[in-house]
Chain A
Amino acid sequence: MLRIPAIATALIAAIVLAWWAAATVAGERKLAGIAAAEPRGNYRITLDFAPERFHQVRLQEAGRLVEVRGDDVFMMDVPPPALRAIAREYWVRAVTPWEGR
């Protein structure tokens, strides 16, 4: 009787899981070759477009956003878990270490 809601819920859960897994794999790939600085590091986050307010707010949750130049966002004091969270976002094209100011 409640087959349709059950199938819909299972489908939503499967999509969310697949999304999360794909984002995690992609995030690990973006961070390959980068040794996350402990306890915090400085990074250049490259997007495919000029960041909007949404992206700046999201990135500010991860660390200190110090500059935006074109498609690049320069961030300081980013802890490793937050760096992994940033790399998981599909709108982040690349993450590279940055010497900071």
Chain B
Amino acid sequence: MSDALTLPAPATRPAMRRGMARFLKGAAGVLFLLVAWQLSVPLVGMSSYFYPAPTDVVAAFADLMRKGILPVYFADSMLRYSSGLAAGALLGVAVGVLVGLNRTASLALSPLFKFLFAIVEVAWIPIFVIWFGYGVKTIVLALVYVVFFPVLYNTLLGVRTAPQILVNALRSLGASRLQVLRYAILPAALPGIITGLRIGAGFAFRGLVFAEMVAAKSGIGYLIFEGAQNQQTARTIVGMIVLGLTWLAIDLFYLRPVERATIQRWGLTVDAEQRR
């Protein structure tokens, strides 16, 4: 039995110490940046509108929390993001499987997908605004569009590279098309789907900010835009920091564990992930 199927050993003390050391080094880097930023403010000598200090940003964060603006904007953004991501991923997997298994569908749809893939979501947003107005529908649709293509292409790749020997073995045992899909094709495509999802999740996060700037009256993207418009630069920076931290949390608590689980389950070694 190869290492691929063995479960990872529980984190040992040296591994935990290494992780802590890595965290402390990262925190030291952030702290250094903050101190340098704060010290540079009197040297730059500009107003807080042009160049806010970290203390201004902290004050803006506290103000946004006290006034209830940040929690509502954050919740709105996350709801739009998760809805768009889920719908885009489902659609991408479904169409990817269909196109991957059906030659007629592939011939009919591939040129269209290639054409649409070249048109970024930014170009669609004005049209979506005309069709659906400002608000959640337009934003979610834009996110679905962004997530759809990476998931579609990676699913397609996974479906087309599914080991033919497994498919043939199942067929020779009398498996139905659905069983072949369930027991051979989908498991083989899963690493591809997860890769597509991770790429799509990143694209969608960027798309969310732009869509909210253009088509929303709430959300973190709107906060960034509104802060700059109203000369509240510190609020804009709060929005940017919240976005960055949110992405780190999504990656750490959702994307990486799901990817790791897929890698382990479907036959790639654990070492590759641990070497990160």
Contact = CB atoms under 8 A, between A and B. Distances in A.
Interface of A: 1-5, 8, 48-49, 52, 54-55, 57-58, 89-91
B267 to A, nearest CB: 14
A100 B217 CA distance: 29
A91 B68 contact: yes
A89 B261 contact: no
A1 B261 contact: yes
A2 B66 contact: no
A24 B245 CA distance: 29
Nearest to B63: A49
Sort A-B residue pairs by CB-CB distance and give the 4 closest, nearest first: A1-B261, A8-B253, A91-B68, A4-B257
B257 A52 contact: no
A5 B67 contact: no
Contacts of B265: 1
A2 B261 contact: yes
Nearest to B262: A1
Nearest to A52: B67
B257 A90 contact: no
B66 A5 contact: no
B67 A91 contact: yes
Nearest to A1: B261
A1 B258 CA distance: 8
A48 B66 CA distance: 9
A89 B253 CA distance: 29
A1 B264 contact: yes
B91 to A, nearest CB: 22
B167 interface: no
Interface in B225-270: 249, 253-254, 257-258, 260-261, 264-265
Given A1-B260, A8-B249, A48-B66, 10 more contacts: A2-B257, A3-B257, A4-B257, A5-B254, A49-B67, A54-B67, A54-B68, A54-B218, A55-B67, A57-B217
